[in-house]
Amino acid sequence: MRCPVCGGDCLQDAGSVLTTLPEIFTPCDRCTITLLDKRRAPSPAYTPAPPCQCRRRFLDDVFASCYQIFAEEGIITGTEPLSAIATPVVNPGFVMNTPPFLPTQSLVFLSPYPNQKTAERIVSEVPEVQGVVKTGKTVPGITGGHLASHTLLAGCDIQANIFPTSSGDLVVYKELSRLHLEFPRPVNPKIRAVERAIRRENPMLFIDACCGAGTLGLAAARTGTPEIIFNDVYGPAVFWTVVNLMVNQDALHLDEVLLHTILTDLPAVSNDPLLVAEGLGEQQHITIYQGNFDRLPAAIPEVSRSLSALDIFEKDQRQACMTALDRWRSAGGGKAFIP
Ligand SMILES: [Zn+2]
Ligand SMILES: [Zn+2]
């Protein structure tokens, strides 16, 4: 699969990603480690170690190299704490017990500070950095009816996250400038909630009505639920759900993934449900729509014995959750829960 952001080979099927774990970030015997205090500025005299002959380098040294470029370009004064300049996102992301030794092209650097030149210097001079994203004030996606995204300044910003489920690991890719960040945890409470609800209700149809990059619907598909529907109002979310269905196609035993809409033509927002793609397997049928979640029930023929997860954005607001559930039920959507 070609990477839809950079055209390179950063996108791989789930099996290929999973075989690289966990050794991908494990040091060789010759790798060196210097722990830096991330609450302080690194000493101007400190020279980060170059990559080891195994082409890995300790996270702190990669970060210190980026810090030096920031300082040389006048983006920071050089007195800021090391940890204050950016959020490092490793690719692939999975639960690690020790800090990573990064191979080439395995870190996306998210920061509110860089300009174009600094970003290009970092990508060309720090081999471990795969991409530099300038972050805006708002989390990417749709919040309160407004579209927001960060800006990819240099390199590529796709990242794979590994999510353990009861039926095996899922690989979920996303574009960090256009979808919100998630950090893998040893136990993912939302995936657990979906698996518990499916065990309890044994639905014929599971609907991931606000699917984002598709994690919960994919976890539901791994339980063997015969019919799965994904939906999101936001184009980039639907785009990556389709990619992630293809990435996990073998684990889901799908014979093919059919596209009904050209992925690059997806609108940023679609209110009426647009049929985007289908996954076809002997035991399972998967459909992906783009649209407003409360218009979805009218578009799907059979919602009896269905169970829907409404993974809405403003979940910490109890009122928003109640409103979403009400909207879903009054649209004829049937049984639903907030994971
Ligand atoms: Zn790429
Ligand atoms: Zn090494």
Q: What is the pLDDT of residues 267-305, one digit of tens each?
A: 999 999 999 999 999 999 999 999 999 999 998 877 678
Tokens (6 digits) for 95: 């639960």
CA-to-CA dists, residue 238 to 14, 182, 245, 266, 269, angstroms: 18, 17, 11, 8, 10
Asked whether residue 173 carries a pLDDT value surpassing 80, the answer given is yes
Indicate the pLDDT class of residue 316, thresholds 50, 70 and 90.
low
* pTM confidence score: 0.94
Q: What is the pLDDT of residues 4-44, one digit of tens each?
A: 999 999 999 999 999 999 899 999 999 999 999 999 999 98
C-alpha span between 7 and 152 (Å, rounded): 15
Percentage of residues in the chain with pLDDT exceeding 70?
Answer: 99
C-alpha span between 312 and 284 (Å, rounded): 26
CB 209 within 8 Å of CB 161: no
Centre of ligand 1 from the C-alpha of residue 11, in Å? 7
Neighbour count for residue 275 (Cβ, 10 Å): 13
Centre of ligand 1 from the C-alpha of residue 329, in Å? 40
Give the pLDDT score at 75.
94
Centre of ligand 2 from the C-alpha of residue 57, in Å? 7
Centre of ligand 2 from the C-alpha of residue 18, in Å? 21
Q: Which residues, in sequence order, are bridge partners of residue 147?
A: 142
Q: What is the pLDDT of residues 65-92, one digit of tens each?
A: 999 999 999 999 999 999 999 999 999 9
Centre of ligand 1 from the C-alpha of residue 13, in Å? 14
Centre of ligand 1 from the C-alpha of residue 105, in Å? 10
Instruction: Provide mean pLDDT across the span 176-183.
Output: 90
Any residues with CB less than 8 A from the CB of 334 and at least 6 apart, and which?
297, 303, 304, 306, 307, 308
Centre of ligand 2 from the C-alpha of residue 42, in Å? 23
Centre of ligand 1 from the C-alpha of residue 214, in Å? 19
Centre of ligand 2 from the C-alpha of residue 46, in Å? 20
Go through 200-236 and write b for each residue having 16 or more CB atoms within 10 A of its CB, e for each that does not.
eeebebbbbbbbbbbbbbbbbbbbebebbbbbbbbbb
Instruction: Provide mean pLDDT across the span 162-177.
Output: 95
Q: Which domains are seen in the chain, by residue range?
A: 14-159 (no CATH), 187-337 (3.40.50)
Nearest ligand to residue 159 Cα: 1
Nearest ligand to residue 53 Cα: 2
Residue of higher predicted confidence among 139 and 250: 250
Give the pLDDT score at 11.
95
CA-to-CA dists, residue 330 to 26, 298, 301, 315, angstroms: 52, 11, 16, 20
